[in-house]
């Protein structure tokens, strides 16, 4: 086990360490238990993120220095007519930078293995803290979190060649990761449901530049599907179907009858793109609060329910 992994995992409680190693959280606990568990995991993830950025920066630095040293060794040897001392000195510098580059690439790889998707840290934990006074103290919150990278190989759902246009070749790879599923019981008996699905897509473009050199560029797009749901509290409240129909003209809202009662869902899409890796734009907890409030505003006391074609 690497020094990075040892330092990061040392002292973590067993269940937190298991979440890091499996990159999965599946459980049903009270709010106070999650607010003990998730902050520990969040601090670990922040530590790994910070260290990963530093290690990646040094990896790039030593890679560039190794590349420049290679040219220095070639031209230095040529201009010195093969002087063995010049060859040894430039070759030694090249070897040092190349070894450091390899060492830091290994560190990057090991840190990525214990790095976690930030959805639980940037979105879920702040949401639970915001809603803490409205969550039933004895109620149990169900969490099913995928902490792995959204663009991991096992998440790829399609790969195809697109019409290349001016390119030699254009390949699209689409991934899908169910990052967050949560069921949150409120003090009034209602239940809130949250689903966050990430769908990153990469576009690899292979082309020839005006000077005849073959080039490759990669761009990323991210589609994040955020769905909030509301199950009314028992028989005391119903969802206003007229309001659902009105809202459906502006947003994606659905009302379904289930064995456990009515379920009203509201979905929004967040799009982002990047030319430097998978976009990591977080879902703001304030957005989720606004979506939940929109759903709650469509509740009517039992006996006052309006239907789409009348009162």
Go through 274-291 and write b for each residue having 16 or more CB atoms within 10 A of its CB, e for each that does not: eeeebbbeebebebbeeb
> What pTM was computed for the model?
0.84
The number of residues in the chain equals 311
Quote the CA–CA distance of 50 and 57 in Å, as a whole number. 11
Q: Where are the beta strands (DSSP E) in 164-297?
A: 169-175, 177-185, 191-208, 214-231, 237-239, 252-258, 261-274
Q: What is the mean pLDDT of the chain?
A: 85
Backbone angles phi, psi at 236, to 5 degrees: -80, -25
Helix (H) or strand (E) holding 64: helix 31-79
Quote the CA–CA distance of 151 and 149 in Å, as a whole number. 5
Go through 41-58 and write b for each residue having 16 or more CB atoms within 10 A of its CB, e for each that does not: bbebbeebeebbeebbeb
Going by C-alpha positions, the residue among 283, 46, 44 that lies closest to residue 180 is 283
Sequential pLDDT tens for the chain (311 residues): 454 544 557 788 999 999 999 999 999 999 999 999 999 999 999 999 999 999 999 999 988 888 888 877 766 666 666 566 656 776 788 888 889 999 999 999 989 889 999 999 999 999 999 999 999 989 999 999 999 999 999 999 999 999 988 888 999 999 999 999 999 999 988 899 999 999 999 999 998 888 878 888 999 999 999 999 998 887 666 776 777 767 766 678 887 776 666 888 899 999 999 887 888 888 999 999 999 998 888 877 654 555 555 44
pLDDT digits (tens, 9 = 90+) for 204-225: 999 888 887 888 899 999 999 9
Residue 230, SS3? strand
pLDDT digits (tens, 9 = 90+) for 108-165: 998 988 999 999 999 999 999 999 999 998 999 999 999 999 999 999 999 999 998 8
């Amino acid at each position: 086990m690497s020094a990075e992994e040892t330092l990061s995992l040392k002292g973590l409680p067993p269940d937190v360490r298991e979440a890091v190693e499996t990159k999965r959280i599946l459980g049903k606990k009270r709010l106070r238990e999650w607010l003990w568990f998730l902050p520990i995991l969040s601090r670990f993830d922040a530590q790994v993120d910070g260290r990963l950025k530093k290690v990646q920066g040094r990896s790039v630095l030593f890679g560039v220095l190794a590349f420049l040293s290679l040219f220095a060794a070639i031209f230095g040897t040529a201009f010195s007519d093969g002087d063995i001392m010049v060859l040894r000195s430039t070759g030694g510098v090249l070897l040092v930078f190349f070894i450091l580059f390899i060492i830091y690439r290994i560190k990057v790889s090991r840190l990525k293995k214990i790095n976690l998707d930030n959805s639980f840290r940037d979105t879920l934990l702040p949401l639970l803290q915001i809603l803490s006074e409205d969550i039933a103290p004895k109620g149990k919150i169900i969490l099913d979190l995928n902490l792995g990278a959204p663009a991991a190989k096992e998440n790829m759902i399609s790969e195809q060649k697109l019409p290349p246009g001016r390119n030699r070749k254009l390949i699209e790879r689409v991934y899908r990761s169910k990052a967050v599923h949560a069921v949150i019981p409120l003090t009034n008996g209602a239940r809130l449901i949250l689903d966050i699905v990430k769908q990153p897509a990469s576009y690899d473009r292979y082309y020839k530049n005006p000077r005849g050199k073959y080039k490759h560029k990669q761009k990323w797009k991210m589609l994040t599907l955020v769905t909030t749901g509301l199950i009314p509290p028992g028989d005391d409240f119903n969802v206003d179907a007229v309001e659902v129909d009105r809202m459906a003209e502006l947003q994606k809202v659905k009302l379904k009858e289930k064995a456990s009662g009515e379920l009203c869902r509201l979905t929004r899409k967040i799009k982002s793109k990047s030319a430097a890796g998978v976009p990591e734009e977080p879902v703001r907890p304030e957005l989720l609060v606004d979506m939940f409030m929109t759903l709650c505003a469509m509740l009517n006391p039992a006996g006052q329910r309006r239907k789409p074609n009348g009162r």
